Amino acid sequence: MELTVFLLGTSGSIPTPRRALPAIALRREGELLLFDCGEGTQVQMARAGLSPMKISKVFITHLHGDHFLGLAGIVQTLSLWGREKRLEVYCPAEEVERLRKYLEIPRYTITFELLVEGLEPGQEVRGEGWRVLTARAHHPVPSLAYAFVEEGRPGHLDLQKALSLGLKQGPELGRLKAGESIRLPNGRVVRPEDVIGPSIRGRKVVYVGDTAVTEEIVELSRDADLLIFDSTFAEELSAKAVENSHSTCTQAAEVARRAGVKKLVLFHVSPRYEDASVLLSQASKIFPETIVGEDLLRIEIPPSK
């Protein structure tokens, strides 16, 4: 099953002609989830060939302008296109009234149900075959980090072993897969774990917007296939990172290493890094599987085996 991450905007705080403001689309079975929605997201979606009509849920990390000011424009466009399907928008619980008020400002008539809900750290949102987990991010305003986690799948059935034990192809195997034990005519009981391997865990994509590093953030990132992490500053500006509750590229790499992720994307790159290779070289020393996020970069997450 396809799981693709589109980096729509990768800049921090201020957009540049090369980097738009933070927004990440995650596509799974034609459904789009959006994580943050900076100014310019709708045109970045058009550039990426993605339709906002496919968005089912939007997850906003916090209400600094660069992370959400593209949302009302998308709501207007969807209404001009006559969307009827509900759109769900999530944000930190403390910010839900502020976000609702924002979406009421423009002079448009919304043609669909627009649900804006607040989330407490630790709360989760369920979809079809996936959940989005949350953790508190450490930033001067209420902020969340998000982990998209697919449901696990049953392990592989060892068909040869099943047949050799006396099971027959057909409904019996289905019952075993559903977790039931089967009593054979010879009285022997075959349990699912006798013929089915360990369950296959779902894929995990973690997005940590603006934050200083905390243990909660490391735990949220644990074993991610892809970790997209605040990397506003290079190592030399670590004091500035502390002052503004951001992370440096090396801190991002430390989290990736400690959390045992497969791949790290440096994200929310300060406009001062016209050439972001310094971020990459510093982070790669700590965590080699690092890339610098670039606008319109598309990352496919292969199915777990």
Reference 201, options 175, 216, 222, 187; nearest CA is 222
Q: Are 209 and 145 in contact (CB under 8 A)?
A: yes
Task: Give the shortest CB-36-to-a copy of itself separation in angstroms.
Answer: 13
Cβ proximity to a copy of itself, 95 vs 150, nearer residue: 95
Cβ proximity to a copy of itself, 77 vs 282, nearer residue: 77
Which residues partner with 269 through β-bridges? Answer: 11
On the 0-12 / 13-18 / 19+ scale of CB atoms within 10 A, 137 is buried
Task: Give the shortest CB-27-to-a copy of itself separation in angstroms.
Answer: 19
Cβ proximity to a copy of itself, 106 vs 197, nearer residue: 106
CB-based contacts of 183, cutoff 8 Å, min separation 6: 189
Task: Give the shortest CB-262-to-a copy of itself separation in angstroms.
Answer: 32
From the CB of residue 47, how many other CB atoms can be counted at a distance below 10 Å?
14
Cβ proximity to a copy of itself, 61 vs 251, nearer residue: 61
d(CA 78, CA 30): 17
Cβ proximity to a copy of itself, 34 vs 255, nearer residue: 34
Q: Which residues of this protein are in contact with a copy of itself, per CB under 8 A? A: 13-17, 20-21, 39-40, 42-43, 46-47, 62-66, 68-70, 72-73, 75-77, 80, 98, 101-102, 105-108, 140-141
Active-site pick, 66, 210, 225, 295: 66
Which strands, in side-by-side order, build the sheet including 23-28?
114-119, 87-92, 55-59, 31-37, 23-28, 3-9, 298-300
d(CA 165, CA 257): 44
From the CB of residue 260, how many other CB atoms can be counted at a distance below 10 Å?
12
d(CA 136, CA 144): 5
Q: Is 194 a catalytic residue?
A: no
Task: Give the shortest CB-83-to-a copy of itself separation in angstroms.
Answer: 13
Task: Give the shortest CB-158-to-a copy of itself separation in angstroms.
Answer: 51
- Residues with catalytic annotation? 66
